[in-house]
Amino acid sequence: MSVSIKSVRKHYRTLSDARIREIVEGESSTLTNDGLMVLKEEITKRNLPLLKTINNKLQEKEDITSLIEERCRIIRDQPCPICGSEEYKLNAVELSKVRLGLKSTEFNLGCYDCLVKKNSETTDGYSILNLFSLWGLVSGNESIKHNTRQIEQLKVDQPTPELWKYAEQLERAVYREAMQQININPISDNDSKELNRPT
């Protein structure tokens, strides 16, 4: 077991029941699966009437993870939006560029060859003006390092964290819309009643 899970567990142990409830009901979407599991342990240990809610949250996390996986798979099977080739699976990188002293990042989706080409264009295109200031030089070098790491990720035939993030945004938007349409209350009524029950 990792040290971080241990420290999370220790942290939850120090929280009040009310705070645990707050996290489960309001902040649990920001937790990782491990975080939710530890929270569930604490809820079980204290016998709080939140088991149903936390199980729903875990299920939701599992559902959305498999939706994101599926979304990544579909995106990766599309023809390359840059060259149109269907030969390679697509992936995504976030390339950093410095233009006239301004640093920005750009999301790029494409096949391996196109992304490598995009990266060299970005780097070759560094304005000579960047070289006139130390800041320009330093941030230019940082950008090159960042971009090299991004391209390096493509060597593994897996969705990059950038593609995952992109797919996650798409899925969360779809998920939210679906929930609104069927008007699902994220907090189950039964749990809320149980919590208000006099003890």
Would you tell me which residues interact with Zn ion (CB under 5 A)? 80, 82-83, 85, 110-111, 114
Compute the least distance from the CB of residue 53 to Zn ion, in Å.
45
Of 68 and 80, the one with the shorter C-beta distance to Zn ion is 80
DSSP letter at 94 equals: E
Of 40 and 117, the one with the shorter C-beta distance to Zn ion is 117
Q: Residue 32 and residue 136: Cα distance in Å, rounded? A: 38
Compute the least distance from the CB of residue 99 to Zn ion, in Å.
24
Q: Assign residue 92 a region: left if phi > 0, alpha if psi is -120 to 50, beta otherwise?
A: beta
Instruction: Using the structure block, give the residue that is written with the tokens 């992936």.
Output: 91
Q: Residue 154 and residue 112: Cα distance in Å, rounded? A: 7
Compute the least distance from the CB of residue 82 to Zn ion, in Å.
5
Compute the least distance from the CB of residue 124 to Zn ion, in Å.
18
Spatial CA neighbour of 171 closest among 67, 41, 29, 51: 67
Of 110 and 140, the one with the shorter C-beta distance to Zn ion is 110
Question: Which two structure tokens, joined as six digits, stand for 143?
Answer: 């950008």
- Name the 3-class secondary structure at 48: coil
Of 28 and 91, the one with the shorter C-beta distance to Zn ion is 91
Burial annotation 99-118 (CB, 10 A radius, 16+ → b, else e): eeeeeeeeebbbbbebbeeb
Of 9 and 89, the one with the shorter C-beta distance to Zn ion is 89
Compute the least distance from the CB of residue 178 to Zn ion, in Å.
33
